Amino acid sequence: MSAARRVRTRQPVGDWEDALVTGNGRQGALVHSTAERVRLTLCHERLFLPVTEPLPAPATASLLPELRELLRRGRSREAAERITAFAAREHPGYADTRWIDPLVGAAVLSFVPRGHRPGSVTRACDLDSGLVTEELPDGTVHRAFASRSDDAVVVELASPLGLDGTLRLTALEEAPPVPMEVVREAGPGLLTLRADFPERPPGGLSGYTVTCVVRAEGGRVGAGGEGLDLRGVRRLRLVARVRVDGFPAPETGSPEDFTGALERHRAVHGDLMSRFRLELEGGSARPDALGEDLLAAGPAPDLIARLVDAGRYAIISSCGDLPPTLQGVWSGTYDPPWRSGYTFDGNLPSAVAALHATGTPELMTGLFDLLDGMADDLADNARRLYGCRGILLPAHASTSGRHNHFGPEWCLTCWTAGAAWMSRLYWDHYSHTRDRAFLRERALPFLTAAAEFHEDFLTDEGFSPSYSPENTPGDGDGQAAVNATMDVAAVRDLVRNLLRAHRALGVPGSRRWARLGARLPGYRVAPGGELAEWAGPAGPTGQSERHAHRHASHLYPLWYETDPALASPRLRAAAVAAVRARLAWWRGQESDEMAFGLVQLGLAAANLGLAAEAHETLSLLATRYWRPTLVPTHNRGSLFNVDIGGGFPAVAAAMLARSAEGRLDLLPALPREWASGRVEGLRARGGVVVDLLEWSGGRAHARLRAVEPRETVVVLPGGERRKAALVPERTLSLQFTVVAGEESNRFEISRATPLAGG
């Protein structure tokens, strides 16, 4: 096992947020023991506490002319208040902001010894297997992993002195916000916990069951109250499973052997981890360094590479039948921040941002299944909120796709870019895998429905209402806006991808999308020279820039395939200025929360070839938003959150390869700090695979192939272009010169593929 794939820490555990994590996508465990207590919090991806009735979106379509008139007059706040007042009259449940059902922990499995030796606990996680190991001061060794092959959390406790104490399976220690009936049982070889929700809202979860099969070697095990009493046990093996009502579980047995179960799991999980590897500055200089020491030393290349691994591990461990929530598959509370769930206006796209580029496209299936399963709700949102065909995605969701989370300040019903944004992920899945069945059966229907909404919604003036996530124009009194650049960019992107999908499949009907593209507004340069966050004024309100903000939604045209409009030197310069203006704010102390905003900046900087700025985003992320466990956070040092688990490796990958259909740029944003390095397993659009890319001493070597025969233009640092005929069966080797830290592979884009009308 490479040292770069291991995490170690002796940082004391405060609560579940200090845990090491293991997960198989469906189930997970937070491992957070102390010298006094071995403790695992068991989790399940579908365990959303039934707290709130998922009301349908309010029927505000009749308000649309009035809302647009208010926005023409620059009365943003009044427009948002009008929506919430109308909704509250329609249903009293809208009198206050409605929240989604929260992702919660299922149970706590704990062993409390009768006596303990004070001292620190050494904790480690093998990222290639998901095995978490804890060594207690008294010599007890605790190992646990969440098995993909057996769909269970498998645990082993061993002590040279014998295990003496109580083993329990309990609910979370805090009080739940809704009535919850819990029954616990302890019998020979088995602990169970059954939880029911007798006062659940319509459609809410009825309950769940946790079982823990117990096998002991040596000593005695007896039932004692609601737990098991252990005396002199040499080794204890446990198999824990969470089963959520209404969702079938995979057919699996109960693994008898810890080592065998671990090897079966390692074969699956290890394959996912092994598909991508980044080494910087010759690899790890301190293979056994503690996480707390690595973070304290600053953003050295070794730390960057380790965090790429740690981030990928968190996301891989969170991808099951569903995509990662804000907290992945894990929760140790009944009240997680923002109720966890799926936040589509920034967080979730960051979490999945590296899955294609790092060679694990199959892990995107959970997101597509989630979205396709919400189809009826998304169509209902479009009809009720705006009287439109097609689909409208909420900003925040968990157990339904209903658009019911909004208020007078966070006027989220004004955000209409969500389905267009998700359409990019459908297209990218095809672009990386070349799976035409997916393109025909799943991607094209979703893209079509997203575009149908905008066919109906778009006016001669553009997007109204509009919303640049969570930001307010500098001269505005509210977040409701007109022509947010994100809306313009996402729908321009949607139209381009629809046109390409029709061509790839030979499907007629693309002219309507060209007509939609011709109706879209263009971009605007703000008076300060930056790419504007709003593409025009809203009546008397100029919608001026506000750079002191955590999102960078106006940089959407630089996150994926760069919008051809930015081939304009004027717009490119404006985009560079926008990146630098927002990054200047992030350098300050005020910029505390929402780490994924730096991911948005980093992706844009990498696409522009701004090596120093892209590296700075990684440096800020590396030094502010990771715990000693190398589990990421939402705020500086606080709030367990996996958004940048995907975003961090995505930025690193974008600095090493920039791709579009038919084109691959190698080392477009290589910083001086990465004077030598090696990456294996980069995936690019067009089905291109970079099996190897290594550089040192000003020279670089790449080995390329493709998942299907194709011609690709490879752009090297300095701008040299080479046409490459790539095939799956053999690799093409390239040797070339590179100078780290220079803007030698400058941003440029072909003018040959413009958006119709754009």
Q: Residue 752: which pLDDT band, with cuts at 50, 70 and 90? A: very low
Q: Check if 56-97+318-323+334-546 and 664-737 are the same fold.
A: no
Calculate ∠ Cα 53-55-58, nearest 5°.
160
Q: What is the structure's pLDDT at 742? A: 60
pLDDT of residue 373: 98
Q: What is the pLDDT of residue 749?
A: 39
Rounded average pLDDT over 140-156: 98
Q: Which two tokens stand for residue 83?
A: 């929506």
Mean pLDDT of 225-250: 94
CA 691 and chain centroid, separation: 25
Task: Report the SS3 class of residue 314.
Answer: helix
Of 122-131, 255-264, 619-628, the range with the lowest mean pLDDT is 255-264
Position 462 scores a pLDDT of 98
CA count, 13 A, side-chain hemisphere, 325: 29
Whether the pLDDT of residue 253 is over 80: the answer is: no
pLDDT at 329: 99
Closest CA relative to residue 596, chosen from 557, 551, 564, 565: 551
How high is the pLDDT of residue 758?
Answer: 31
Question: What confidence score (pLDDT) does residue 11 get?
Answer: 95
pLDDT at 754 over 90: no
Annotation: CATH topology of 664-737: Immunoglobulin-like (2.60.40)
Specify the pLDDT at position 284. 53
pTM for the model: 0.96
Mean pLDDT of 330-357: 98
* For residue 613, pLDDT beyond 60: yes
* Residue 33 and residue 21 in contact, taking contact as beta carbons nearer than 8 Å: no
- Number of helices (H) and strands (E) in the chain: give both, helices first: 17, 27
Q: Classify domain 3-49+104-274 by CATH number.
A: 2.70.98.50
Q: State both tokens at 543.
A: 């919608």
How far are the Cα atoms of 100, 102, 171, 461, 744 from residue 337, in angstroms, in the given order?
11, 9, 20, 38, 43
Task: Give the separation between CA 756 and CA 513, rounded to whole angstroms.
Answer: 9
Query: Would you place residue 751 in the very low, low, confident or very high pLDDT band (cuts 50, 70, 90)?
Result: very low
DSSP output for 559-580: TSSPPGGGGSHHHHHHHHHHHH
Report helix, strand or coil for 96.
coil
- Quickly state the pLDDT bin for 739 (edges 50, 70, 90): confident
Terminal Cα-to-Cα distance of the chain (whole angstroms): 51
Indicate if the pLDDT at residue 4 is higher than 60: no
DSSP string across 180-231: -EEEEEEETTEEEEEEE-TTPPTT---EEEEEEEEEEESSEEEEETTEEEEE
Per the model's pLDDT, the better-predicted residue between 756 and 731 turns out to be 731
- HSE, side-chain direction, 13 A CA sphere, residue 74: 13
Degrees, nearest 5: CA angle 46-372-337:
40
Query: Which whole number is the average pLDDT over 247-252?
Result: 83
Residue pair 461/519 in contact by the 8 Å Cβ criterion: no
CA neighbours closer than 13 Å in the CB half-sphere of residue 595 = 31
Domain range summary for the chain, segments of one domain joined by +: 3-49+104-274, 56-97+318-323+334-546, 664-737
DSSP state of 100: P
| Average pLDDT of the residues in 451-479 | 98
| pLDDT range class, residue 746, cuts 50, 70, 90 | very low
Least Cα distance to 288 among 535, 635, 7 occurs for 7
Residue 745 is predicted with a pLDDT of 46
Each residue's pLDDT tens digit, 165-201: 999 999 999 999 999 999 999 999 999 999 999 999 9
If you average pLDDT over residues 335-344, what whole number do you get?
97
- pLDDT band for position 225 (cuts 50, 70, 90): confident
Predicted local confidence at residue 476, as pLDDT: 95
Average pLDDT over residues 490-513: 98
Bridge partner residues of 30 (DSSP): 21, 41
Cα(128)–Cα(524) distance, integer angstroms = 47
| pLDDT for 713 beyond 80 | yes
Tokens of 181: 């009936």
Among residues 1, 35, 36, 30, the alpha carbon closest in space to that of 15 is found at: 30
Average pLDDT of span 112-126: 93
Which CATH number is associated with domain 56-97+318-323+334-546?
1.50.10.10
Calculate Rg over the CA atoms of the chain.
26
In angstroms, the Cα distances linking 69 to 73, 461, 538, 617, 647 are 6, 12, 10, 40, 39
Q: In this model, does residue 303 exceed pLDDT 60?
A: yes
DSSP per-residue letters across 62-85: GGHHHHHHHHHTT-HHHHHHHHHH
For the chain, the residue count is 758
Residue 753: its pLDDT value, please?
A: 31
Q: Is the pLDDT of residue 665 over 80?
A: yes
Q: How much is the average pLDDT of 705-733?
A: 97
Q: How much is the pLDDT for 338?
A: 96
Q: Percent of the chain at pLDDT above 70?
A: 97
pLDDT digits (tens, 9 = 90+) for 99-109: 999 999 999 99
β-pair type (20-23, 220-224):
unpaired
DSSP H/E element including 456: helix 444-457
Q: What is the pLDDT of residue 123?
A: 98
Amino acid letter at 367?
Answer: L
For 185, phi and psi rounded to 5 degrees? -135, 145
- For the stretch 678-702, pLDDT in tens is 999 999 999 999 999 999 999 999 9
Q: How far apart are CA 325 and CA 347, in angstroms?
A: 9
Q: Shortest CA distance to 654 belongs to which of 728, 555, 568, 558?
A: 558
Whether 355 has a pLDDT exceeding 50, the answer reads: yes
pLDDT digits over 373-419, tens only? 999 999 999 999 999 999 999 999 999 999 999 999 999 999 999 99
- Which pLDDT score is estimated for 747? 41
Q: State residue 282's pLDDT score.
A: 56
**Span 324-337, average pLDDT:** 98
